[in-house]
Amino acid sequence: MKPPANLIFITSLLLGTTITISSNHWVMAWTGLEINTLAILPLISKSHHPRAIEAATKYFLTQAAASALVLFSSMTNAWYTGQWDITQLTHPTSSLILTSAIAMKLGLVPFHFWFPEVLQGSPLTTGLILSTIMKLPPITLLYMTSSSLNPTLLTTLAILSTALGGWMGLNQTQIRKILAFSSISHLGWMAIIIIYNPKLTLLNFYLYAMMTATIFLTLNTIKVLKLSTLMTAWTKVPSLNAMLLLTLLSLAGLPPLTGFLPKWLIIQELTKQDMAPAATLISLLSLLSLFFYLRLAYCTTITLPPHTTNHMKQWRTNKSTHITIAILTTMSVMLLPISPMILTIV
């Protein structure tokens, strides 16, 4: 893809995201979501591979259906209440339809089937955009309507997402699919707390986006897409491989790394809201995700794969520095000690 076209699509993505997160009217929010969808499609299908075209088609159909549901929800609410303001979503049916639409846009269970396939068919840089920037507008809409949402429905979706995200990621060998199921699992943690403490959801999303960006950029630098190639990636950039190990453990939520902070705060808030059983259940289900994170971390430490590989081993030839990855890795691993300051800012 030529640089001018690439610039137009990236600018459109930022424009659509900005329109959605800054709008008070449902039609403007819907417009931003549509701009986002149309801007990401060429980035998904730019390789012209059949799998990329299939991923773009699946993404378009799912997002178009979800956007139609968002518009239908807002029209139903306006019909009964006369309000087009996003924060005035008071009709129960509209709230139910909107929750389903946002769950479809985010990839929450049971609307998750499209996300692993789309991420698998996309390049790593586009996968990074799909996992981070494209999640921000729907989460913002949930944030603005959090006082009107159904707690039972969201808690059910959240627990199912955490369970299925961990369960289905266990037998994967493609790293992009593992990261897709990781995203579904993390979205479950965000969805369960958004009614009780919306700011905690945003904090969780920011830290998740930072850690995911670190992993995607590292994988893109060392050109790794499968577990078998990850086992021999240490020959390219050994320092990046070591940092990838720490970032994966942080994404798993192990203390004393940064990823432990949102899980700790969410469990604490759920306990304050007399939801100790839900907090216990979602904590136990996150152990499923921990297993495949540990498997990824184990693969980064292996110097020789346990089976014969069909690719050539590459010795380190790239002497360039990776300042962005270094900064993101440091933040992904070492933010826990300054968490009181982060909470004060949020």
For the stretch 261-318, pLDDT in tens is: 999 999 999 999 999 999 999 999 999 999 999 999 888 887 665 565 565 656 555 5
Residue 139 forms part of a structural domain: no
What is the span of the domain harbouring residue 38? 1-122
Residues 46-62 have a mean pLDDT of 92
pLDDT digits (tens, 9 = 90+) for 211-236: 999 999 999 988 889 888 888 777 77
pLDDT in tens, 102-128: 999 999 989 999 999 999 999 999 999
Is there a single domain that holds both residue 116 and residue 154? no
Average pLDDT over residues 199-218: 94
Q: Could you tell me if 160 and 306 lie in one domain?
A: yes
For residues 96 and 168, membership in a common domain is answered with no
Provide the 8-state DSSP code for 344: H
Has residue 39 got a pLDDT over 60?
Answer: yes
Q: What sign does the CA torsion over 333, 339, 343, 344 have? A: negative
167-198 tens-digit pLDDT: 999 988 899 999 999 999 999 999 999 999 99
Residue where one domain finishes, among candidates 105, 122, 139: 122
Alpha carbon distance 271, 291 (integer Å): 25
CA distance 71 to 33: 11
Q: What is the pLDDT of residues 127-156, one digit of tens each?
A: 999 999 999 999 999 999 998 999 999 999
Q: Could you tell me if residue 25 is inside a domain? A: yes
Amino acid at 292: F
Q: pLDDT class for 35, splitting at 50, 70, 90? A: very high
Q: How far apart are CA 235 and CA 247, in angstroms?
A: 19
Q: Quick one: residue 270, left, alpha or beta (phi over 0 = left, psi -120 to 50 = alpha)?
A: alpha
Least Cα distance to 220 among 123, 153, 107, 85 occurs for 123
- Whether 84 is in a domain gets the answer yes
Q: Do 157 and 104 belong to one domain? A: no
> Are residues 184 and 64 part of one domain?
no
Q: With respect to residue 133, please indicate whether it lies within any of the assigned structural domains.
A: no
Q: Which of 103, 122, 141 is the last residue of a domain?
A: 122
204 & 92 share domain? no
Which segments of 194-322 does DSSP mark as H helices, in order? Answer: 198-222, 227-230, 238-252, 260-272, 276-301
What is the model's pLDDT at position 290? 92
Residue 221 placed within a domain: yes
Cα 13 to the center of its chain, rounded Å = 16
Shared-domain flag, residues 92 and 158: no
Question: Are residues 296 and 185 both part of a single domain?
Answer: yes
**Number of domains making up the chain:** 2
| Tokens read off for 137 | 């507008």
* Arithmetic mean of pLDDT, 29-33: 95
Same domain, 44 and 159: no
Q: Across the chain, what does the average pLDDT equal?
A: 89
Query: Do 36 and 163 fall within a single domain?
Result: no
Is 145 domain-assigned? no
Question: Two tokens at 186?
Answer: 């993390």
DSSP result, 103-171: HHHHT-TTS-THHHHHHHTS-HHHHHHHHTGGGHHHHHHHHHTGGGS-HHHHHHHHHHHHHHHHHHTTT
Cα–Cα distances (Å) from 298 to 173, 183, 286, in that order, read 13, 20, 18
Is 129 within a domain?
no
213 is written with which tokens?
């960006």
pTM of the model: 0.92
Same domain, 304 and 260: yes
Asked if residue 140 belongs to a domain, the reply is: no
- Residue 130 and residue 192 in contact, taking contact as beta carbons nearer than 8 Å: no
Residue 28 in contact with residue 54, Cβ under 8 Å? no
Verify that 64 and 188 share a domain, yes or no. no
Percent of the chain with pLDDT over 90: 69
Q: Read off the tokens for 266.
A: 């969410």
